[in-house]
Amino acid sequence: MSAWTTDEMPDCTGRTVVVTGANSGLGLEATRDFARKGAHVVLACRDVDRGGEAASDVRGDVPGASLTVRDCDLASLDSIREFASTVDEELGAIDVLCNNAGVMAIPRGETAEGFERQFGINHLGHFALTGLLLDSLEAADDPRVITQSSGIHARGEIDFDDLQSEESYNKWDAYAQSKLANVLFAYELDRRHGDDLTSVACHPGYAATNLQYRGPEAESSRVKKALMGAFNRLFAQSAEQGALPMLYAATIEDIDGGEYVGPGGLFEMRGAPEEQSSSGRSYDEETAARLWELSAELTDVEY
């Protein structure tokens, strides 16, 4: 089997795709390729000005691209609800939701509702968004929800005794917990709603994006930022390559729900996308169900 590229993406004309964090990195590259294949893409962005710049960038490569930029701040449940309400009214049906946006290894902070930011944005924000868009997804013929995780999820544990890292905070442990939560959510969504939609988790391997700089910038550390830049140049694959697992999961015809897709190269850090196995903890159905119920309680979003 030859390595999968965007040349193998099917035509997406007539399909509507929502991408969170579409203004940069993996989200921007995925938006570009969805647009090339004819999809209408909704760029769900915390900063609509940057989202507009991203849309102009895509239109420069894809003249006539069908794009809509909408405000969606995953650190605010009010913003998520407003976005979902607007998109429901404008679109009616959503074929693909890419839960892509995220923050990584930042100093501890809190969302508008008081959630630890990495857990709140990476997991709870997308949990709420998916639930609020569920009717629009199920109105489509073959809806998919693609949730972006990371290989570091294998380091993660769901600490139900200190879920918001109030007693103890390590930025990498908090990030790993949020990424494990992404995989647990994707699998539990498949178990609960797999008859109506296809839910798949993915990860980009090590891709060079702005995400790696957020932590050093938040710490005002020029040294860490320079080191991260050096690592990116030496070891990372491009954002275009990093977006391939998400595009593969969103468009390949014969994928099943409950899959995990990532780069198939060295240490699963780079290369063409393939279906893989995630960590042992990610398949713990008791943890997944407990996390689901707690997430519904915290966000006040019932599926």
* Catalytic residue set: 175
Question: How far apart (Å, rounded) are the C-alpha atoms in residues 268 and 247?
Answer: 17
For 265, phi and psi rounded to 5 degrees?
-85, -160
C-alpha closest to that of 245 among 30, 77, 17: 30
Whether residue 151 contacts residue 270, with contact meaning beta carbons closer than 8 Å, is answered with: no
